[in-house]
Structure 1
Amino acid sequence: MGIVSIVTNDGFLLPSAPNFRDLGGHRTKEGRTVRSGLLYRSDALHTLTEQERATYDGFGIRQLIDLRSSHERDRLPDLIPNGAEYAAIGVQKTDSAGANFIDLFADPEQARVAFGDGAAERHMYDVYRGLVTDTEALDGYRDLVERAAKGPTALVFHCSAGKDRTGWGAALLLTLLGVEREVVTTDYVASNDRQAATDHWMRLLSQESGLPWEDIEPMTRVKPDYLDSAFTLIDQEYGSFDDYVVRGLKLTGATIDGLKSRMLV
Structure 2
Amino acid sequence: MTNQAAGPLSTAPNFRDLGGHTTRSGARVRTGVAFRSDALDRLDAADMRMLGDLGVRQVIDLRTSFERASKPDALPEGADYAVLDVQGDHSTGADLVEVLTDPARAEAVFGDGGATSFMHEVNRVLVTAEDARAGYAEVVRRIAAGAGATVVHCSAGKDRTGWAAALVLELVDVPREAVVADYLASNDRLSGIQASMRAACERSGVDPALIEPMTKCRRAYLDEAYAEVERAFGSFEGYIRDGLGLDSPTIEALRGRMLG
Report TM bin, short chain: over 0.9
Question: d(CA) in 2 for partners of 1:189 and 1:11?
Answer: 19
Q: What residue is the counterpart of 2:3 in the other structure?
A: 8
Paired letter, 1:37: G
**Structure 1 residue matching 2:198: 3-state secondary structure:** helix
User: CA-to-partner distance for each residue in 1:111-149, whole Å, 9 max, x for gaps?
Assistant: 222212321000000000100010110011011011011
Q: 1:113 to 1:11 in 2, by over 3 A?
A: farther
**Structure 2 residue matching 1:247: 3-state secondary structure:** helix
Displacement of 1:30 after TM fit? 1.1
Q: What residue is the counterpart of 2:235 in the other structure?
A: 240
Match for residue 200 of structure 1 among 192, 195, 203: 195
Question: d(CA) in 1 for partners of 2:154 and 2:28?
Answer: 26
Paired letter, 2:192: A
Q: What residue is the counterpart of 2:117 in the other structure?
A: 122
Match for residue 58 of structure 2 among 42, 56, 63: 63
Q: What residue is the counterpart of 1:4 in the other structure?
A: none
Q: Which stretch of structure 1 is more off in the superposition, 125-134 or 193-202?
A: 193-202
Gaps in structure 1 of 5+ consecutive residues: 1-6
Gaps in structure 2 of 5+ consecutive residues: none
Q: 1:193 to 1:165 in 2, by over 3 A?
A: same
Displacement of 1:239 after TM fit? 0.7
Q: Are 1:158 and 2:153 matched, yes or no?
A: yes
Q: 1:179 to 1:130 in 2, by over 3 A?
A: same
Question: d(CA) in 2 for partners of 1:72 and 1:120?
Answer: 20
Q: 1:42 to 1:100 in 2, by over 3 A?
A: farther
Does the CA contact (< 8 Å) of 2:11 and 2:43 recur in 1?
A: yes
Does the CA contact (< 8 Å) of 1:13 and 1:20 recur in 2?
A: yes
Q: Are 1:102 and 2:97 matched, yes or no?
A: yes
Q: 1:201 to 1:106 in 2, by over 3 A?
A: same
TM-score (norm 2): 0.94
Does the CA contact (< 8 Å) of 2:66 and 2:93 recur in 1?
A: no
Paired letter, 1:91: V
Question: d(CA) in 1 for partners of 2:210 and 2:6?
Answer: 30
Q: What residue is the counterpart of 1:80 in the other structure?
A: 75
Q: 1:83 to 1:176 in 2, by over 3 A?
A: same
Match for residue 140 of structure 1 among 135, 138, 147: 135
Question: d(CA) in 1 for partners of 2:14 and 2:76?
Answer: 17
Question: d(CA) in 2 for partners of 1:178 and 1:211?
Answer: 43
Structure 1 vs Structure 2 CA RMSD = 1.7
Does the CA contact (< 8 Å) of 1:92 and 1:99 recur in 2?
A: no
Q: 1:99 to 1:201 in 2, by over 3 A?
A: same
Q: Are 1:191 and 2:174 matched, yes or no?
A: no
Displacement of 1:102 after TM fit? 2.0
Q: What residue is the counterpart of 1:93 in the other structure?
A: 88
Question: d(CA) in 1 for partners of 2:206 and 2:224?
Answer: 27
Displacement of 1:96 after TM fit? 6.1
Paired letter, 2:232: E
Question: d(CA) in 1 for partners of 2:83 and 2:77?
Answer: 17
**Structure 2 residue matching 1:37: 3-state secondary structure:** coil
